[in-house]
Amino acid sequence: MKTLVIGANGQIGRQFCALAAERNLPIRAMIRDRGQIPAFREIGVETVTADLESDFRQAYEGCEQVIFTAGSGPHTGPDKTLLVDLHGAIRASDLADELGLARFTMVSALRAEHPLQAPERLRPYMAAKHAADGYLRRGRTPYVILKPGRLTDEPPSGRITTDPDSVAHNHISRGNVARILLAVAGNGGLRNAEYRILDGDMPIDTVFG
């Protein structure tokens, strides 16, 4: 089924799109800047120009599932966190419900349910993720929520854990998250499931295949 990738030009989104293109998975990259089109066209990925802070309904046309990997991150102000990580995610979820999509995959954050325990600069982001996750759970669209720990740029190992208590660290490479998204996108049977994910010893395909 065709997948709309919201946040396709982010660090995880770009890696996922490249992997999906290699596997010939049908995807559409939602981007804000038309100047980004050539990079996606070069790897054979369809694009649509739309913005989470505006009308993006047209991006859904012909798509059967959504991957939401957009995020303002801790380096923007609380205004962008509200508009992108919270309101943008809610609007994306509403559209999925309205249009009867098969699944919505959300890239959230580990321990987002405890925003006050996060470093102060991350609390608005974690609170937005927590609220968006809860909204998605209450919707009509089947969902998968991925909760990665601290993101790194280490080379992807292809191995993870879904039990954070089993390892003595709290990180996962962006490349591993992209590979998890690839596995989820290709497995239509995963529905209404949540995973806490860190780098570990278990092959990704064993968990999500």
Query: Which positions are annotated as active-site residues?
Result: 125
Distances (CA, A) of 146 to 103, 190, 193: 13, 12, 9
- For residues 39 and 137, give the distance between their C-alpha atoms in angstroms, rounded to a whole number: 34
Buried b / exposed e along 116-144 (16+ C-beta atoms within 10 A): eebeeebbbbbbbbbbbbeebeeeebbbb
Candidates 151, 146, 120; CA nearest to 133 is 146
